[in-house]
Amino acid sequence: MQTQLVQADSVGLQQAAHLLQQGEVVAIPTETVYGLAADATNGQAVKKIFAAKGRPQDNPLIVHIDSIDMWKTLVKEVTADALALAKAFWPGPLTIILPHSGSAAPEVCAGLDTIAVRMPSHPVARAIITQSGLPLAAPSANLSGSPSPTEARYVLEDMEGRIPLIVEGGSCEVGVESTVVTLAGEQPVLLRPGYITKEQLEAVLQKEVLVAGAVTQMLKADEIAASPGMKYKHYAPKAQVTILQASGKDYCDYLNKHAEQGVAALCYEEDVPYLKVPYVVYGKQEDAASQAKELFSALRHLDEMGAKEVYARCPATEGVALAVYNRLLRAAAFRVVQL
């Protein structure tokens, strides 16, 4: 299959909408990461997403919508809490899980009785949903297990020959995938941290939001994941990544002492003047949003450099930084060392 990369002009958008209506898979930009989109009501189309990504069939997809009316067709009921969150954070990087109505293809929900939905804010994503008139199932547009793509060229790297079309939309503003919260149980639970924080959700809901254990801990062998995606290895570059919990000074000292062939630093901008090893920067120390925006492209840069052993500065674990920590932990296969 030939993969075409098109601009998000009227011709490109038309082509994307047309292919989606025909049951094809199209990579589209969103404000978080690029998504691999298909008609969420067409089981055959959705199956092509799983095939293109090499994604396990039991890992459900997020459905992207452009209106509350479209949401109402997908879920049993839009509850008061759900509507409050949507009013506060949509369009934007928040995914809300509710019991489903049965109108999406069963492949989307992977056998669960719930469905994950979000309304993206990226104008290109919105235009493609509106022009196709379809709710779009879309996981991140990477091969299963590799870092989510924040630029069209990374989508091309992973998806060349696997899908017919990629729509160019520049680099993604947020850089990590949406916050996922489930409202399907007794209490709201944060399943995946993102740019919208637990504290922001609690301020709107006026109640406590629990955090799923798998956000910061490895699932035990016999544990059932609240969100199936959490049990899979994720975001891994080819290098072995280790997170170092240390001050900036101790971190740089450690790396300079281990300046062997293949060793590289995944560091903050502030560390650069003190490092004598190859490095890739992911944001500024006190600016979690900048870390989120740069993390996935930094992981891909490390591969391009041929790094074998990567030592990463440890992000904070609150607010937006929790999203960064959660992704980096998986990239590091939970290897965290305190210096």
- Nearest CA-CA partner of 27 in 42, 54, 8: 8
**Residue 108 or 307: which CB sits closer to ligand TXA?**
108
**Residue 175 or 271: which CB sits closer to ligand TXA?**
175
Residue 177 as a binder of ligand TXA (CB under 6 A): the answer is yes
Report CA-CA distances (Å) from 320 to 9, 136, 249, 284, 286: 33, 26, 24, 13, 11
Q: Which stretch binds ligand TXA (CB under 6 A): 6-14, 173-181, 199-207, 285-293?
A: 173-181
E-only strand ranges, the chain? 4-6, 26-28, 35-39, 62-64, 94-99, 114-118, 136-137, 165-167, 179-182, 189-192, 210-211, 240-245, 263-267, 279-281, 309-313, 336-338
* Three-state secondary structure string covering 252-273: HHHHHHCCCCCEEEEECHHHHH
Residue 227 as a binder of Mg ion (CB under 5 A): the answer is no
Q: Are the C-beta atoms of residues 300 and 294 closer than 8 Å to each other?
A: no
**Residue 42 or 95: which CB sits closer to ligand TXA?**
95
- Calculate Rg over the CA atoms of the chain: 20
Q: Which stretch binds ligand TXA (CB under 6 A): 76-84, 109-117, 283-291, 303-311?
A: 109-117
Q: Which does 227 bind (CB under 5 to 8 A by kind): Mg ion, ligand TXA, none?
A: ligand TXA
Which residue number has the CB closest to ligand TXA? 229
Longest dimension (CA), the chain: 59
Convert residues 128-167 into a mask of x (bound to Mg ion by CB under 5 A) and - (unbound).
Answer: ------------x---------------------------
Q: Are the C-beta atoms of residues 230 and 180 closer than 8 Å to each other?
A: no
198 exposure class (CB count in 10 Å sphere: 0-12, 13-18, 19+): buried
Q: Which stretch binds ligand TXA (CB under 6 A): 84-92, 152-160, 223-231, 235-243?
A: 223-231
Task: Check residue 223 and report its DSSP letter.
Answer: P
**Residue 188 or 255: which CB sits closer to ligand TXA?**
188
Q: Which of 115, 299, 314, 328 is in the footprint of ligand TXA by CB under 6 A?
A: 115
Residue 140 as a binder of ligand TXA (CB under 6 A): the answer is yes
Enumerate binding residues for Mg ion (CB under 5 A).
Answer: 140
Enumerate binding residues for ligand TXA (CB under 6 A).
Answer: 30, 32-33, 35, 59-62, 93, 95, 97, 109, 112, 114-116, 138-140, 177-178, 180, 191-192, 227-229
